[in-house]
Amino acid sequence: MSAASSHAGPRAWSLLRTLSCGLLLAKLALPAAAQSYSAKSLLNRMAPEFTRKDLSGRRLDLASFRGKVVLLNFWATWCAPCLVEMPEFAAWQREYGPRGFQVAGISMDDTTAPVLKLVERLKLDYPVAMGDARLGELYGGVLGLPVTYLIDRRGVVRARFDGETNLEVIAKQVGLLLNHR
């Protein structure tokens, strides 16, 4: 055995230990919510609970929607795909609401003024609350917008849609969840 190959083992183990420690430190530096949930890990798990005041000052409590199919939509006023989706979501709320469907919007804007104007202009008839980085982290990181979750009647996350999405795909998923008791 050559001298070079006899030292390769200990160097490799040293590198592996260094990388493992680095990964552990990176994990410890993350907020607790980001550690426990990732976008993919939320699928087929209970949706993280949260309570916020909506733009009207009423309580928006995700747990209060249990028994309904929930479309939880993270968006912002400056997001072009969001502006396309939201009127469709409002139409679905009117059409499917009587069958146990609920849309809830979470604006990731920094201030409420533009959000209030947009909600009024689009005539959104579902609750909208202001979000923040903490709520985004709870839902696996909301780094790009829109991000939409479908949550079944039991409160289990069944789908996540990131970015501009074909609304027909979301509508089919909504229909399946509404028809499943």
Identify which of 150, 172, 159, 170 has the alpha carbon closest to the alpha carbon of residue 81.
Answer: 170
Residues 60 and 101 in one domain: yes
Mean pLDDT of 5-19: 39
Residues 138 and 64 in one domain: yes
Residues 12 and 64 in one domain: no
With a pLDDT cut of 90, the percent of the chain lying above it is: 75
Residues 73 and 162 in one domain: yes
Q: What is the CATH number of the domain that holds 68?
A: 3.40.30.10
Would you place residue 39 in the very low, low, confident or very high pLDDT band (cuts 50, 70, 90)? low
Q: Exposed (0-12), middle (13-18) or buried (19+): which is 105, by Cβ within 10 Å?
A: buried
With 90 as the cut, is the pLDDT of residue 147 above it?
A: yes
Residues 21 and 103 in one domain: no
Residues 22 and 111 in one domain: no
* Number of compact structural domains in the chain: 2
Would you place residue 26 in the very low, low, confident or very high pLDDT band (cuts 50, 70, 90)? very low
Mean pLDDT of 116-138: 97
Both structure tokens of 164? 């501009």
Distance CA 37, CA 59 (A): 24
**pLDDT in the model for residue 9:** 46
Average pLDDT, the chain: 84
Residues 20 and 107 in one domain: no
Residues 98 and 11 in one domain: no
Residue 101: which domain range? 33-179
Mean pLDDT of 98-118: 98
